[in-house]
């Protein structure tokens, strides 16, 4: 009965990829098709131990972190993808075009990256960067809060 209902809803409001617009299965849990996900540039092993930027020539730290060790006010940062091309457009949609549902698509890879780089070893809290109250009201949500919530859910269910 639920599937029948979903088919009807999908007929009027088809589920499409938020990047390329291709149709997705009406049962799809994601709003990004596999082809688009594969096109995102994942940051792999060779990266700066502090800021997480890719290191194309190897080493432990990037030029900035080596030369200016106090440049960043954090101990360690990691990113899942390079901020470019279709991913960049998608993040801008997530932030400014009422696509709060994308938090689910970003939550899992963020959780997996944090786990891979041992962020959970000493962490007691996950705290999203607050959003200015006026922006929060205008946007209707704080994207960092949605992501923190998704990461927390994934972390809790994995234990
Ligand atoms: Zn797509
Ligand atoms: Zn660095």
Q: What is the total count of domains within the chain?
A: 2
**For residue 38, which ligand has an atom nearest its CA?**
1
**For residue 79, which ligand has an atom nearest its CA?**
2
User: Per the domain annotation, does 87 fall within a domain?
Assistant: no
**For residue 24, which ligand has an atom nearest its CA?**
1
User: Rounded to the nearest 5°, which phi and psi values hold at 54?
Assistant: -60, 140
Ligand 2: distance of its center to the CA of 87 in Å? 22
Assign 156 a pLDDT band (cuts: 50, 70, 90).
Answer: confident
Which structural domain range is residue 145 located in? 99-159
Q: pLDDT digits over 57-101, tens only?
A: 889 999 999 999 998 999 999 999 999 999 999 999 999 999 999
Contact yes or no for 148/142 (Cβ under 8 A):
no
User: Per the domain annotation, does 13 fall within a domain?
Assistant: yes
User: Per the domain annotation, does 144 fall within a domain?
Assistant: yes
CA dihedral 108, 113, 115, 116 (to 10 degrees): 140
Return mean pLDDT, the chain: 89
Token pair listed for 10: 């999908």
Ligand 1: distance of its center to the CA of 93 in Å? 14
User: Per the domain annotation, does 48 fall within a domain?
Assistant: no
Q: What is the DSSP string of 68-97?
A: -TTSSSSS----SB-S-HHHHHHHHHHHHS
């Amino acid at each position: 009965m639920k599937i029948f209902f979903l088919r009807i809803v999908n007929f009027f409001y088809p589920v499409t990829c938020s990047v390329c617009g291709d149709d997705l299965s009406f049962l799809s849990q994601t709003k990004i098709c596999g082809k688009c996900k594969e096109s995102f540039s994942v940051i792999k092993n060779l990266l700066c131990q502090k800021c997480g930027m890719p290191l194309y020539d190897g080493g432990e730290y990037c030029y900035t972190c080596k030369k200016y060790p106090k440049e960043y006010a954090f101990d360690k940062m990691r990113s899942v993808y390079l901020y470019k091309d279709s991913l960049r457009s998608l993040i801008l949609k997530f932030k400014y075009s009422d696509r709060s549902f994308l938090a689910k698509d970003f939550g899992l890879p963020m959780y997996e990256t944090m786990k891979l780089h041992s962020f959970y070893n000493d962490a007691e809290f996950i705290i999203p960067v607050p959003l200015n109250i006026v922006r929060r009201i205008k946007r209707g949500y704080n994207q960092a809060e949605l992501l923190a919530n998704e990461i927390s859910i994934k972390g809790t269910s994995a234990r």
